[in-house]
Homo-oligomer: A and B are copies of this chain.
Amino acid sequence: MFKLTFLGTSSGVPTRERNVSALALECIANAHAKRNTWLLIDCGEGTQHQLMKSHLSPNDLSAILITHTHGDHCYGLGGLLASLGMNRRTKPLTLIAPKAIAKLLDTLTIVSELQFNYPIDFIAIEDNLERELPLDLGDNHRILIRLHTLSHRIASFGFEIVQTLDKDKLLMGKLKTDNIANKYWHEILKADTPLSLDDNTINPRDYKIHTQSTTKIVIAGDNDTPSLLTQAVKDCHALVHEATYTDDVMQKIVSKPADQGGFDPKHSSAKMVAQFAHACHVPMLILTHFSARYAPFDDETAKQPNMGHIRKEVESYYDGKLVLAKDFLQVAVGLDAIT
Contacts and interface: CB of A to CB of B under 8 A. Distances in A.
Contacts of A100: 110-111
A82 B71 contact: yes
Given A45-B79, A48-B14, A86-B12, A103 B107 contact: yes
A54 B104 CA distance: 30
* Copies of the chain in the assembly: 2
Between A48, A52, A75, the greatest number of chain B beta carbons within 10 A of the residue's beta carbon is seen for A75
Contact of A111 (B19, B45, B101): B101
Contact of A153 (B53, B72, B113): B113
Nearest to A98: B111
Interface string A234-256: 00000000000000000000000
B76 A45 contact: yes
A120 interface: no
Given A19-B49, A48-B45, A103 B110 contact: yes
A213 B109 CA distance: 45
A112 interface: yes
Nearest to A19: B49
A169 interface: no
Interface in A45-67: 45-46, 48-49, 52-53
Given A13-B86, A19-B49, A71-B82, A104 B113 contact: no
A154 interface: yes
Between A71, A78, A154, the greatest number of chain B beta carbons within 10 A of the residue's beta carbon is seen for A71
A245 to B, nearest CB: 15
A61 to B, nearest CB: 15
Contacts of A82: 71-72, 75
A84 to B, nearest CB: 10
Contact of A104 (B12, B13, B86, B108): B108
Contacts of A76: 45
A154 B111 CA distance: 10
B71 A114 contact: yes
A16 interface: yes
Given A16-B52, A20-B79, A104-B111, 19 more contacts: A12-B86, A13-B86, A14-B48, A14-B52, A15-B52, A16-B53, A19-B49, A45-B75, A49-B49, A69-B111, A71-B108, A71-B114, A74-B112, A75-B75, A75-B79, A103-B107, A107-B107, A112-B154, A113-B154
29 contacts: A12-B86, A13-B48, A13-B83, A14-B48, A14-B52, A20-B79, A44-B79, A45-B45, A45-B46, A45-B49, A45-B75, A45-B78, A46-B46, A49-B49, A70-B112, A71-B78, A71-B79, A71-B82, A71-B112, A72-B82, A75-B79, A75-B82, A75-B108, A88-B261, A100-B111, A104-B107, A104-B111, A112-B154, A113-B154
Interface of A: 12-16, 19-20, 44-46, 48-49, 52-53, 69-72, 74-76, 78-79, 82-83, 86-88, 100-101, 103-104, 107-108, 110-114, 153-154, 261
